[in-house]
Chain A
Amino acid sequence: MSDHEHDSHSLRNYFWVWGWLFVLSVCSYVVDISPINQMLKWVLITVFMFLKAGMIMHVFMHLQLERLSLVTMVIVPPAVMLFALFVFGFEGTHIENVRENFFLNIEFTRTEAG
């Protein structure tokens, strides 16, 4: 345990993560301004985002040194929120359709009625 702790507190480790955070940020910026396919863009940006978040939590916030009880307490509840992401995703698209189909032409119906 103490050996492992010493290893993960080494300067090299922190600078390595620091450097990668820079590289991944540059990558996501380059992806954003490059003229590639929009879907691929979103996928890449999300992948880079999760890599950065993982490195910050694993190394900078020392989750690699904590017991699994604490790690699961931190990771599992936000992961459950991903379910809400899908639910709200469907809902948002549905509301947009409703607005497109029934509300954007409201002036038209009004003039017809009056």
Chain B
Amino acid sequence: MAESASQETPPPGLTGVISDWSSDQTTFKGAGWGKPMMWLFILSDIFIFGMFLLGYMVARLSTPDPWPDPAEVFALTMFGVQIPLLLIAIMTFILISSSGTMALAVKYGYERNRKVCGRLILATAALGAIFLGMQAFEWWILISDGVRPWGNPWGAAQFGATFFLITGFHGTHVTIGVILLLYMYRKVMRGDLEEGRPGAITGRKGRWEMVEIAGLYWHFVDLVWVFIFAFFYLW
């Protein structure tokens, strides 16, 4: 009886949600354990970044001092012309591109195309590293302009605190992602995922699902940037 119930294909839609959660078994049917765990981690990270952005909103709303205009603060002078937000725009395009190459890497991973998958992962890591370099450059410009967590030359003192906190935390996530992707590149190219070779850190056997899980993390980093780009730089 119990066996036949587990072999049935679970119902779709809202009925499926209720039956999945009340099944007294694995809740996330057909998803293994790795993917739901990464999603749970992402959910907790969404809360962290969500609270950072909410805190930024309160700081910006509650200060009577004028908020520095990001379009002017992050402008770059190129060939004698001041272009607003140029560096940020380029960083955004680089991160979106890295998300695209990662999505393709996952696709070729599922097609068991080891070489193409590995190269796309490496391209993603490279784009992430370029993004980090540009962010370091951006911090350097701002710090030389006199922006500190406790003040800046243009207005509300909270600007520096929220800027360094939010972009710094996002940059840390990108750094961890680049390291994770380089590690995954080595695993893919060496054939660990096909052979099920145990990993060096956890000793778990290599599976192709690992590429998708690493991809989930990387897309999440891009997702956070979408929100930071809109709320911090454009608003």
Contacts and interface: CB of A to CB of B under 8 A. Distances in A.
Interface of A: 9, 11, 14-15, 17-18, 21-22, 25, 28-29, 31-33, 42, 45-46, 48-49, 52-53, 56-57, 59-62, 66-70, 72-74, 77-78, 81, 84-85, 88-89, 91-93, 95-96, 99-100, 104
Given A45-B230, A73-B39, A81 B93 contact: no
Interface in B210-226: 212, 215-216, 219-220, 222-223, 226
B29 A69 contact: yes
The secondary structure that dominates the A interface is helix
Given A69-B29, A70-B39, A56 B99 contact: yes
A30 B136 CA distance: 25
A96 B62 contact: yes
B169 interface: no
Given A56-B223, A81-B50, A69 B61 contact: no
B203 interface: no
A18 B57 CA distance: 30
Nearest to B31: A70
Contact of A49 (B40, B64, B230): B230
Contacts of B103: 14, 17-18, 59-60
A99 B212 CA distance: 50
B227 A14 contact: no
B96 A18 contact: yes
Contacts of A45: 230, 234-235
| Chain B interface size range | 35 or more
Q: Chain B CB within 10 Å — which of A61, A77, A104 has the most? A: A61
Given A25-B92, A32-B234, A74-B39, 13 more contacts: A31-B234, A32-B85, A45-B234, A49-B226, A67-B30, A69-B16, A69-B27, A73-B40, A78-B50, A92-B57, A95-B62, A96-B62, A96-B63
B146 interface: no
B143 interface: no
A24 to B, nearest CB: 9
Contacts of A62: 106, 212
A106 to B, nearest CB: 12
A29 B61 contact: no
Contacts of B10: 67
Given A56-B222, A96-B62, A74 B16 contact: no
A85 B20 CA distance: 31
Contacts of B219: 56-57, 60-61
Interface stretch (B41-49, B173-181, B191-199): B41-49
A72 B20 CA distance: 12
Contacts of A11: 104, 107
B99 A60 contact: yes
A75 to B, nearest CB: 10
